[in-house]
Structures are given as structure tokens and as C-alpha cells.
Amino acid sequence: MNSAPLIELKNATKVYSLGDEQVHALRGVSLAIEEGDFVAIMGASGSGKSTLMHILGLLDVPDSGSYQLHGRELSSCTEDELARIRNEEYGFVFQQFNLLSRTTARENTALPLLYSLNGVDNARVEELLNQVGLGNRMGHNPNELSGGQQQRVAIARALTTRPRIIFADEPTGNLDSSSAHEIMTLLKNLNAQGITIILVTHERDIADYARRVLHMRDGAIHTEEQRDTSPLAKLPPRTDSELARDARSTWRHNLRAFGTYFRLAGRALWSHKLRAFLSMLGILIGVASVIAMLGIGAGAKEAIRTQFASLGSNLLILRPGARQSGAVRTQAGQVSRLTLDDARAIERAIPDIEYISATVSLRAQAVARGLNWNTEISGVEPSSEKIRALQPTAGRFITEHDIQTRARVAVVGRTIVRELFNGQNPIGEQIRINRVIFQIIGVLPEKGASTWRDRDDVIVVPLSTAMHRLAGVDYVDSIEIQVGNAQRVSATQDAVLALMRKRLRLSPSAPDTVSIHNMAEMLSALTETSRTMSVLLSGIAAISLIVGGIGIMNIMLVSVTERVREIGVRKAVGARRRDILGQFLVEAIAVSLTGGLFGLLLGGGAALAMSHFAGWAVVVTPQAIAMAVGFSALTGLVFGLWPARKAALLNPIDALRYE
């Protein structure tokens, strides 16, 4: 059996510096306290009672001196080791009660258990509250309890982890005398069970409850009186199973702690809903705009891709004029017109061509059934049916015979059917285009809208009719060529250009006056545009996340400052640094993550709405969602770290004293 006193303090000093003034709060105090004793520390205000008590309670460290618990020196312990001792061996009762506000008596009592290896034990909490006479007040918050009742909750809290010592600093200082004596009777009874009590008071009748009274003056113990010499009651020693802590229970404890942080964060956010919402706005807007833009961008890209896919990747388009790079003409070269003869010459000379069609297009007014509609007229050759995938859903397409006879026949798109024929079958009906009467012979398949135009708003007529009866020209606007073999696309492209240069009699050094494009090039130009867009969006996202993060950092600093006393209480009952760090970090992440999730909903909604109006498929990809969630959580982590660290590094006693 250990013969060392329970606590032995030797030569403890504590000096506070106030500017250039030095306050010697403790001037070499030595003191031994036996297990089971009831010690009252008395003295005038400012004599150092509280300072001594905080050092004895491991809430503060002396500047010099030694502290032994059960003969074990504690002066080299880390803060977390001290927190563990406070949690398991010590209980605290303060003059200001120091209960957590907006938290029930039950939860206040259970607080030390949150930080203990054993976890919360509701039966124990209820038993203790019954023991202090508050069995019918367990669900009440501190502001619904009298001072005496609050102090009883504090005593119940001090007892939850079955400590061996209770420290009480002026526990009756804020109470009327009848409550004061009730509280002292409670403490006296606890002492009779073997719990060591160390009490600070400046009232004689309160000190009279103790067995031993120390009088302090000027930071030193001045006199001492032994009032009761009856044998000390002793708690049974801790059982081996209580002392044995395997790695598993620590692991479980950490997991449980994490759950606790989440609950605390949820409650902190809920109790400041508006503030939390405002502080997450930055993240919300950032994530929403990025999700919306990504959704719209991806939707547009998808629409472009399907549009090109329907044209076929083996398509080459020959146009008058030099090549353009992006929207900017790189050289102001000459422009050569294309003719039907060019198309025939290319068809004859170049072997890999599967289909070729010269086209002319113009805008014109179409009139049918007394209705007017301005639309695109496309003059094509029969092979266009294959090149542009225009197989009519009803009726027939343009034939060679129509071309030769310059037939006034038309194949109409869906939009025309809708706008001029009320959606009814128009085949056989007449339509006037620029005052020329055409007969409708077919309906085009539905193509859907593209980024820049409605591709169903078109009337297809024979090329010869379009050239000579509508546009009045003898040249064509473009020549569309479908290459039979995908491998031959670029060779064919070169061959066509070479042939055209020869036909146009361009000298070798002269710039091109016609240009030929393949679909891959056009697609990559569009992809380039959307890549630029993505870079821009990433910029917006980064900036808004930083701004949002700063907002969160700001609100977390406010939150930490508001709750310094709460942090002090948590540390006093055994919260380690990492518990406080975790609590505030999880809170910051919860704010930013909630903002991110709201942003996801808002942005997804916006993308949905816009894609609905534009007629695209909605594309909010899982990657975009993962990115939004990941980045918002990361923002909370990065910007919450500093405030949380600030909270975690607070000294317990400074935090408890904070006003």
C-alpha cells in the first residue's frame, strides 16, 4: 500500500506579471493532503487561495515547485495527461457554477463522461441527480434552475467519473445561507464516503464543515488548525479492471469522441441558424455557380457532340475563303466562289469520296394556310440525305429528277410543321417560299435544338431550285463531302484542297482562297472554347471558396471567443486539446459542408432549369458533386484550423476566468 500522501505540493510559487508590476500570488507553499481529508483554505481576498486551488486541481501550473499525486511527480506531465487526471481523479465545483448554458442538467452532469474512456452512462447520471435531489429537474436548462440547484448540478457533474478528490472554490459564494448549508451538507456526506474535499472559502461557518483549516496570508500558509482528528474514511482502491485500459478502449473512445463533435457542431449551428447560414453564403454561392456552370457546360458540350455525331465524323466541308482560326480571320485573303462544276470535278477526281453534295442556303419567308414564318431554306443534292442523315420520317427526299427539273418540291422540318401546319401532316400541301409555290413531299427527322439555333427550323429544297428560282445565283455556298474510310479523311482533305488550287490556278506561293474543314477540327475548336470556360470557372470557384473560407474563419473566431468559458469548463472536466480542436474543426467543416450541399442543390436546380429551357440533357456529374463536397469540406478544414487551434491551446484556468 502506498504510504505517500494523496497530494504533496512542495515549495510552489506563482508570480503574475501585470505590466511591470509583479504579483507574488504564491510564495513557496508546501502542503500535504491525506486521502479522505476535508481541507478548507481560508484567507482574505487576494491572499492566493484560488491560485493555490487551481494549482492543486491541475488547472494551472506553478512557476516552480513540485507536485506529487500518490507519490507520482506530475510537473513533467503533458497537458493531455493532466486532462486525463482531471477527468478521472478530480471533480470541480466553482463559485459561478460554470454550467453550460442551453444544456440540460442531465447533459451538464454527463459532460465529464464525454471525455472519459468509459463513455456516457445515463443510469449513473440519473442516479447522481437523484442523489443531489434534482431527480425531477433533469431536463431543465441552467436558466430554469435556482442558484442552489445549479450548484447541485455542478456537484453531480463533479462526481460523474467517480473522482477521488473534489475541489470547490467558494462553492457557496453565490448562494443564500440555507442553500449554502445544504451544499455543505452534501460535501460533508461525500467526504464521509471517503472522497477527499478541498474547499476554498472566506466564511468561517463554511470552513467549520472541514476537518482541517489552512489560513493563507500574502501567498503563504500562515496558520493551520486541525478541527477533527477522527479516523479518515477511505474510498476502496480502484479495481484492476478500472485501471486496465487497452488500446481498443482508447480507439473506441476516439470514435465516440468524433460522434460527439458532430452532435456538438449540429447543436452549435442550430442555435445560431441565421448566423451559420450567412457565414456559409460564400461557399454556397461559389459551389452553386460552379455546379450550374459545369452542368450547363457539360450539357452544351454533350449537345454539340451529338449534333456532330449525327453529321458523321468523316465529313469534310469545303467553303469559299481562307481558313479561319477561331473567330478571327488570320489573313485577309481573296475569296473564290465555289461552283457546281467544282463539286462534279472533285467527285470525278478523288477516289475515296462516298457522297458529295453542294449546298446553298438562304433565309426566306414561308407562307402556308395563311400563316407566315421566317426560316432557313437549304438547297441540297440527293446525297445530302445520307451526309446529313435527313431520311424523311414521312414522304420522300429530293431526287436527281427534282434537281434536273428544278422541281418546286420541299421537305420540311418539324418546326415548320408545328408553326405552319399546326402539327398536322403537311405532305401534299402547298407552301409559298418567297412567292414561289412549292409542294411538300416529305417531313425531316427531328434534330433538336443546338447551342445556337433550332435545327428543325429548316426547309430543304432541290439545289437547282434554290439557286435559280429562290436565290438567283450560279454558285454554291459549300460542298459537303463524306469520305468512305475514316483513315482517308485527312488525305482526302489534302487532295481536295490541291485539286481546288489547281482549278483556281493559284500559284504555289499564293494563299488559299477556299478552305476545307473536317469535323474533328471543328469539334476541337469547340472543346477549346469549353476548356477556356472551365479554367475561368475554376478561377471563380477558387476565389469564392477563399472568400467563403475567410467568412467561416471569421465566424469561427467569433464562436471561439464567445465560448471561451465553455472551453474552460470542458478542459476542467478533462477535455484534451485534441477534443477541443476536433470540436471546433468539425463545426467549421459542418458549416462549409452544409454551405456546399445547399450550393449543390441550388446549382443543380439552376442547371436543371436552364437545361430544361435550352432542351439539353441535364448533366450534373458525380465528379462535380464529389468536387463540390470535397472542396467545401476542405475549405472548412483549412480555414477552421486556426480558430480551432486557438481554442485548443487555451489554458484551462485562463479560459475559465475569461469575462
Is 51 a binder of ligand ADP (CB under 6 A)? yes
Q: What is the number of other CB atoms lying within 10 angstroms of the CB of residue 487? A: 11
- Residue (95 or 518) nearer to ligand ADP, CB: 95
Q: How far is the CB of 643 from ligand ADP (least distance, A)?
A: 23
**Residue selected from 2, 11, 22, 23 as contacting ligand ADP according to rule CB under 6 A:** 23
Stretch that binds ligand ADP, among 42-50, 156-164, 203-211, 489-497 (CB under 6 A): 42-50
- Residue (277 or 658) nearer to Mg ion, CB: 658
Q: How far is the CB of 16 from ligand ADP (least distance, A)?
A: 3
Is 237 a binder of ligand ADP (CB under 6 A)? no
Q: How far is the CB of 120 from ligand ADP (least distance, A)?
A: 33
- Residue (25 or 467) nearer to ligand ADP, CB: 25
Q: How far is the CB of 150 from ligand ADP (least distance, A)?
A: 21
Stretch that binds ligand ADP, among 2-10, 18-26, 307-315, 346-354 (CB under 6 A): 18-26
**Residue selected from 1, 3, 45, 243 as contacting ligand ADP according to rule CB under 6 A:** 45
Cβ partners under 8 Å of residue 415, min gap 6: 375, 454, 456, 457, 458
Report how far apart the first and last C-alpha atoms of the chain are (Å, whole number).
45
Stretch that binds ligand ADP, among 41-49, 129-137, 485-493, 625-633 (CB under 6 A): 41-49
Is 650 a binder of ligand ADP (CB under 6 A)? no
Yes or no: say if 66 and 75 are a contact pair by the CB < 8 Å rule.
Answer: yes
| Residue 452, C-alpha cell as written in the block | 445556337
Cβ partners under 8 Å of residue 346, min gap 6: 318, 353, 356, 479, 481, 496, 499, 500
Q: Work out whether strand 324-325 and strand 212-217 pair parallel, antiparallel, or are unpaired.
A: unpaired
Q: How far is the CB of 44 from ligand ADP (least distance, A)?
A: 7
Q: How far is the CB of 169 from ligand ADP (least distance, A)?
A: 8
* Closest to 635 (Cα-Cα) out of 568, 573, 539, 550: 550
Q: Work out whether strand 165-169 and strand 90-93 pair parallel, antiparallel, or are unpaired.
A: parallel
| Residue 242, C-alpha cell as written in the block | 478500472
With b for 16 or more beta-carbon neighbours within 10 A and e for fewer, the 48-69 pattern comes to bbbbbbbbbbbbbbbeebebbb
- Residue (23 or 542) nearer to ligand ADP, CB: 23
What CA dihedral angle connects 488, 490, 493 and 495, to 10 degrees? -70
Yes or no: say if 466 and 317 are a contact pair by the CB < 8 Å rule.
Answer: no
Q: How far is the CB of 12 from ligand ADP (least distance, A)?
A: 12
Q: 128 contacts which partner out of Mg ion, ligand ADP, none, CB within 5 to 8 A by kind?
A: none
Q: How far is the CB of 49 from ligand ADP (least distance, A)?
A: 3
Sign of CA dihedral 96, 141, 92, 570: negative
**Residue selected from 36, 48, 57, 599 as contacting ligand ADP according to rule CB under 6 A:** 48
Q: How far is the CB of 59 from Mg ion (least distance, A)?
A: 13
Q: 135 contacts which partner out of Mg ion, ligand ADP, none, CB within 5 to 8 A by kind?
A: none
What CA dihedral angle connects 331, 335, 336 and 340, to 10 degrees? 110
Separation of alpha carbons 489 and 494, rounded Å: 9
Separation of alpha carbons 357 and 294, rounded Å: 38
Is 47 a binder of ligand ADP (CB under 6 A)? yes
**Residues lying near Mg ion in the complex (CB under 5 A):** 50
Is 191 a binder of ligand ADP (CB under 6 A)? no
Is 16 a binder of ligand ADP (CB under 6 A)? yes
**The amino acid at 72:** R
- Residue (46 or 135) nearer to ligand ADP, CB: 46
- Residue (219 or 636) nearer to ligand ADP, CB: 219
Separation of alpha carbons 554 and 274, rounded Å: 15
Q: What is the number of other CB atoms lying within 10 angstroms of the CB of residue 246? A: 9
Query: Residue 374: is it exposed, middle or buried by C-beta count within 10 angstroms (0-12/13-18/19+)?
Result: exposed
Q: What is the number of other CB atoms lying within 10 angstroms of the CB of residue 19? A: 5
Residues 279-318 that bind ligand ADP (CB under 6 A): none
Q: Please tell me what DSSP assigns to residue 104.
A: -
Q: How far is the CB of 95 from Mg ion (least distance, A)?
A: 8
> Residues in the chain, how many?
659
Is 630 a binder of ligand ADP (CB under 6 A)? no
Q: 25 contacts which partner out of Mg ion, ligand ADP, none, CB within 5 to 8 A by kind?
A: ligand ADP
Q: How far is the CB of 91 from ligand ADP (least distance, A)?
A: 19
Is 18 a binder of ligand ADP (CB under 6 A)? yes
Is 43 a binder of ligand ADP (CB under 6 A)? yes
Total binding residues toward ligand ADP, as defined by CB under 6 A: 12
In the numeric block, the cell 473536317 is attached to 518
* Closest to 364 (Cα-Cα) out of 440, 468, 449, 471: 471
Is 49 a binder of ligand ADP (CB under 6 A)? yes
Q: Work out whether strand 409-412 and strand 436-443 pair parallel, antiparallel, or are unpaired.
A: parallel
Is 25 a binder of ligand ADP (CB under 6 A)? yes
Binding site for ligand ADP (CB under 6 A): 16, 18, 23, 25, 43, 45-51
